[in-house]
Structure 1
Amino acid sequence: AGGAEFPTERWFWFDPPFHPGQSVLLHRQPDNVWRIDFQLGWDADPEEEKKPENILPRVQALLGPHAQFELDWASVYTFACLRMDRFVHGRVVFVGDSAHGVSPFGARGANSGVQDAENLAWKLDGVLQGRASAALVATYGPEREYAADENIANSTRATDFITPKSEISRLFRDAALHLARDHAFARRIVNSGRLSVPATLHASPLNTPDTDAFAGPQVPGAVLLDAPLTRQGQPTWLLRALGPQFTLIVFGAAPGWAFEVPQVQVLQIGVEVQDSEGLAAQRLDALPHTAYLVRPDQHVCARWRAPTEAAVRAALARATAAHA
Structure 2
Amino acid sequence: MDTTGREAAYPAARPRRLRRGPALRRLVAETRVLPENLVLPLFVKEGIDEPVAISSMPGQFQHTRDSLRRAAHEAAEAGVGGVILFGIPAHKDERGSAADDPHGIVQEALRDLSKDVGDALVVMADLCLCEYTSHGHCGPLEADGHVDNDLTLERYASIAAAQAEAGAAVVAPSGMMDGQVAAIRAGLDRAGFAQVPILAYAAKYASSFYGPFREAAEGAPQFGDRSGYQQDPANAREALREVALDVAEGADMVMVKPGLAYLDIIAKVAEASPVPVSAYQVSGEYAMIEAAAERGWIDRERAILETLTSYRRAGAEQVLTYWATEAARLLR
The structure that has the greater radius of gyration is 1
More helix by share: 2
Q: Is TM (by shorter chain) over 0.5?
A: no
Structure of higher RCO (CA pairs closer than 8 Å, 6+ residues apart): 2
Shorter-chain-normalised TM-score: which range?
under 0.3
